[in-house]
Amino acid sequence: MVAYTLRRLLIAIPVIVASTFTVFLLVTMAGDPLANLKGRNPPPSPQVIAVEEQRLHLDEPPLQRYWTWITGVAQGDFGPSVRTNVDIGHEIAVRFGVTVRLIAVAVLLALVLAVVVGVISAVKQYSGIDYGFTFAAFLFLSMPSFWFAVLLKQGGISLNNLIGDQVVYTIGEKSVIVEGGAWAQLADAAGHMVLPTISLALLSFGAWSRFQRASMLDVLNSDYVLFARAKGLSRRRVIVRHALRTALIPMTTVTALDFATLISGAVITETVFQWRGLGEFLVTSVSQRDAYAVLAWLLVVAVAVIVFNLIADLLYALLDPRIRHE
């Protein structure tokens, strides 16, 4: 198991290098990062522009700029930002916690709903319940993420206006001022998570529930499940103790592979609900052609996706003892 983990981590290194270098070239070709500075009225002096070009390493060839950045990352330096008052490393660390909090709760909610709905749909195949769950799954699956997020936000605003008080938070990841102690702050943070979490979770729930249903149906028709029923085991015990555990293995794969999709969904969700997470950081960095900030975002996301997939691989052995990583 240790050797397998080390091999996966070593394979991930060239993947990260290739992806970050490709994005670096795309960002550097997108335009001049000093365009906003040069467009000021009155324009800055050539000396000021030269100082900024040297600070951002714009006076170096692209390959040398990338090498300077990647060697700096190895030492904990994510490079200079176009925004002079921004420390990329500090911003990434703060915003990473915000985004992880949102994604973790959304994944947990989507998984629980998907597994429960998928299992019930499979057990009650072609029943009214199955058709109802199928309709709901395809409904959420077909909704554009930005449209669904805006719909939830508008619904929260309308509810607040109807009641005449703020019962649903629609902006930000926390209130500017929270009166009370730790419990009040915790309740405030939880309240701000309701709409963004629902927006992100339900979009994943649609696909995951259908996959869980198909996986559960496949297991229920397998020989060992039929043999367990023939031995006289109760239907509930066969489903919970034998079928469900095996049916969860493909779901583990789907969840890991969809992690990148959740990250992209979080970008939209954070933008709509004005969360200061990695999504908002990416949008701002791209709009200002901040190459090193975009690279830092990509590096964090790439490492998170690789780690998440590695954890999924290692969970296989726990879910099914027949699976071994030699």
State how far the Cα of 238 lies from the Cα of 29, in Å rounded to an integer: 58
Q: Are residues 166 and 132 in the same domain?
A: yes
Backbone angles phi, psi at 46, to 5 degrees: -60, -30
Task: Please report the pLDDT score of residue 295 as a whole number.
Answer: 86
Q: Which helix (H) or strand (E) holds 154?
A: helix 145-163
State how far the Cα of 239 lies from the Cα of 266, in Å rounded to an integer: 34
- Which two structure tokens, joined as six digits, stand for 165? 């008080």
Q: Are residues 167 and 272 in the same domain?
A: yes
CB of 117 closer than 8 Å to CB of 209: yes
Q: Report the domain count for the chain.
A: 2
What range does the domain containing 36 cover? 1-74
Residue 40 lies in a domain: yes
Q: Which residue carries 């830092």 as its tokens?
A: 296
For 208-266, what is each residue's pLDDT tens digit? Answer: 999 999 999 999 988 888 888 888 888 888 888 888 888 888 888 788 778 777 887 78
Sign of CA dihedral 195, 196, 197, 203: positive
Q: Are residues 117 and 70 in the same domain?
A: no
**How large is the greatest C-alpha to C-alpha distance in the chain, in angstroms?**
87
Residue 324 lies in a domain: no
Task: Please give the angle made by the CA atoms of 131, 136 and 140, to the nearest 5 degrees.
Answer: 150
Residue 43 lies in a domain: yes
Q: Are residues 104 and 188 in the same domain?
A: yes
Task: Please report the pLDDT score of residue 25 as a whole number.
Answer: 84
- What percentage of the chain's residues is helix, strand, coil (to nearest 5)? 75, 0, 25
Residue 82 lies in a domain: no
Query: Rg of the chain's alpha carbons, rounded to an integer?
Result: 24
For residue 322, the tally of other CB atoms under 10 A from its CB is: 8
State how far the Cα of 183 lies from the Cα of 188, in Å rounded to an integer: 8
What is the full DSSP assignment across 187-219? HHHHHHHHHHHHHHHHHHHHHHHHHHHHHHHHH
Task: Please report the pLDDT score of residue 301 as a whole number.
Answer: 84
**CATH number for the domain that contains residue 245:** 1.10.3720.10
Report in angstroms the alpha-carbon separations of 295 from 25, 32, 96. Answer: 10, 16, 14
Mean pLDDT by runs of 10 across the 326 residues of the chain is 74 83 81 80 85 87 88 88 86 90 92 94 94 94 89 92 84 81 84 92 90 92 85 85 84 78 83 90 87 87 80 70 56
